[in-house]
Structure 1
Amino acid sequence: MGALASTYREQGRWKEAEKLEVDVMESRKIELGPDHLDTLTSMANLATTYSGQGRLEEAEMIQVQVMETFRTDRRRQRKLEVQVMETRKTKLGPDHPATLTSMASLASTLWNQNRWEEAEKLDAEVMEMRKTKLGPDHPDTLTSMADLACTWKCQGRHDAALALMETCAEAQRRILGPEHPSTLSSASSVEDWRN
């Protein structure tokens, strides 16, 4: 259900995505608990959908809740993410989409902790593996590209970051359309970074 919700979200089918994401989140709260990484991921996905619908206050409330939960025990989160990533590598393979998603999640956590060199290594690895496995124009590949560009920007690698984000924004415009939230976000970054 989560994968289908993600597909709906990528297509801008917000209402359909929202219904599935609420179901997934509630099921995970019951089955895994409110602080489980998968439950929090579901909440973050729902916040993204609310944001895409322009429901910014609701999105912010969920994001704050997720962020506060993550802050309470980042070490536990990172350990869980590493454990999930390693298990997925062993069981599914290093280039399986679920493994790559785990790697991207861990990179995001490292990024949020200002551990940009570690985040960069994972971001680059995920992007290259997604290019190979899914193709250079797949939405997940483009997300990885944007993530790596943001990491480079935080490292002060302005020119490289801008060039990669421009490439990403152009591909998103072509693949997802000019009004897709990911396209708009990348285009906004390009504009901000040029100034």
Structure 2
Amino acid sequence: LLGDNHPHVAQSLNNLAALYYSQGRYTEAEPLYLEALDLRKQLLGDNHPYVATSLNNLALLYRSQGRYTEAEPLYLEALDLRKQLLGDNHPDVAQSLNNLAGLYKSQGRYTEAEPLYLQAINIATQVLGENHPNTIIFRENLQIMRQQQHPSS
């Protein structure tokens, strides 16, 4: 009905990839995330929020596999795109900051991660509120990182 080149097809590919990801089926998720990203770029252009979402999802997959050097440029591109398209104080920007901070935390790059977590918390608090689930998660992520940094505290 829709044909192969339709935004709904890209969304379906992304959703199936997310399902596989949630099941730990990373090798099956990756080609679907890549196909969704390519299709979204082709149909929507490089500068679209859905492209940023696809970049973020692929980066998350790579991070989960320990493929940090592949994840970082995707997270950075998603963050830049979201800031450009949605503004600096958008919840998706906060999510991107949190994700990039999480990558840095995974690598022990705590001094790079902390200001990103703080930015994410500030944005989420302003836009979503103090008690929003994302705000709480971002605060918890920062707290966990600080505990990893200083295990005796």
- The reply on whether 1:149 has 2:101 as its aligned counterpart is yes
> Unaligned regions of 5+ residues in structure 2, if any?
1-11, 148-153
Letter in 2 for 1:109: L
Quote how far apart the aligned CAs of 1:175 are. Answer: 1.2
Q: Deviations over 1:96-120 (max 9, x none)?
A: 1111111111111111111111111
Task: Specify the alignment match of 1:98 in structure 2.
Answer: 50
* Pick aligned residue for 1:181 from 133, 140, 143: 133
Name the structure 1 match of 2:7.
none
The DSSP-based 3-state class of the residue aligned with 1:174 is: helix
**Partners of 2:21 and 2:71 in 1: CA distance:** 20
Conserved? CA contact 2:98–2:116, under 8 Å: yes
Q: How many aligned positions are there?
A: 136
* Counterparts in 2 of 1:153 and 1:82: CA distance versus 1, 3 Å: same
- What CA distance in whole angstroms lies between the structure 1 residues aligned with 2:44 and 2:123? 29
CA–CA separation in structure 1 for the residues paired with 2:68 and 2:92:
21
2:22 counterpart letter in structure 1: M
1:155-186 CA-partner distances (Å, limit 9, x unpaired): 11111101110111122111110000000011
Shift of 1:192: 2.3
In structure 2, relative to structure 1, the CA distance for the partners of 1:114 and 1:37 (3 Å cut) is same
Within 2, Cα distance between the matches of 1:98 and 1:171?
21
Who is 2:6 aligned against? none
C-alpha deviations, 1:13-61, integer Å up to 9, x for none? xxxxxxxxxxxxxxxxxxx7xxx652464x6xxxxxxxxxxxxxxxxxx
- The one-letter code matched in structure 2 to 1:88 is R
TM-score (norm 1): 0.64
Question: Quick one: which amino acid aligns to residue 98 of structure 1?
Answer: Y
Where structure 1 has 5 or more consecutive residues not aligned to the other structure, the ranges are 1-31, 44-64
